[in-house]
Amino acid sequence: MPSSVAGASEAQQSAGPAASSTSSNTTSGTTSPSPSPSSTSSASPTSSTTSTVGALVADFPATLLPVMPGANVKASSFDKTKTPATASFTAAISATSTDVLAYYTKVFQDQGFTALPGDAVGSVAAKDFSRANGTETVQVSVVPSEPGVTFTVSANVLPASLK
């Protein structure tokens, strides 16, 4: 079977913002090194996705996807130029998987999302949410780490929903 560049890109996107170990700033097709790992941004000529390590990227929709109080953001990404718009972040916290899923279940239900059945994918604690007849989705996944857990929150929403 021939491999597809698009398939590789989709696989990297589904792996989350931490899937890329290198990044660069792209302007008019030229690439220059990023100033530091804690303020890394990247974009390609075919994508307007920006990402950063150690913080939320500029203009991140933190009202839509709030960071759980006490959590330390490890990486984030955001692309508001496509439909659906995509945003995600990965964070760590000294809490349990149950605490994280309970927090985000309340947050997203308060925003009109419906929690879908199931609280795990295999052995990974996870919860999916949808609204607008499934047009908008949010996913939360949580894995054990020391001390506590590491979790990823990802959303695919209509651009009008970005806050």
**In whole angstroms, what is the distance from residue 96 CA to residue 157 CA?**
27
Are residues 120 and 126 in contact, defined by beta-carbon separation less than 8 angstroms?
yes
Q: Does residue 16 have a pLDDT over 80?
A: no
How many CA atoms lie within 13 Å of 82's alpha carbon, on the beta-carbon side?
12
Q: Is 132 exposed, middle or buried (0-12, 13-18, 19+ CB in 10 A)?
A: middle
Quick count: other Cβ atoms within 10 Å of Cβ 67?
16
Main-chain phi, psi angles of 127, to 5 degrees: -145, 135
Are residues 16 and 154 in contact, defined by beta-carbon separation less than 8 angstroms?
yes
**In whole angstroms, what is the distance from residue 107 CA to residue 61 CA?**
14
Q: What is the pLDDT of residue 117?
A: 95
Q: Does residue 5 have a pLDDT over 70?
A: no
Q: Does residue 141 have a pLDDT over 70?
A: yes
Whole-prediction pTM: 0.71
pLDDT tens column, 47-103: 588 999 999 999 999 999 999 999 999 999 999 998 999 999 999 999 999 999 999
- Greater confidence, 59 or 18? 59
Q: What is the pLDDT of residue 40?
A: 42
Q: Does residue 11 have a pLDDT over 60?
A: no
pLDDT tens column, 98-131: 999 999 999 999 999 999 999 999 999 999 999 9
Alpha helices in 39-114 (DSSP H): 97-110
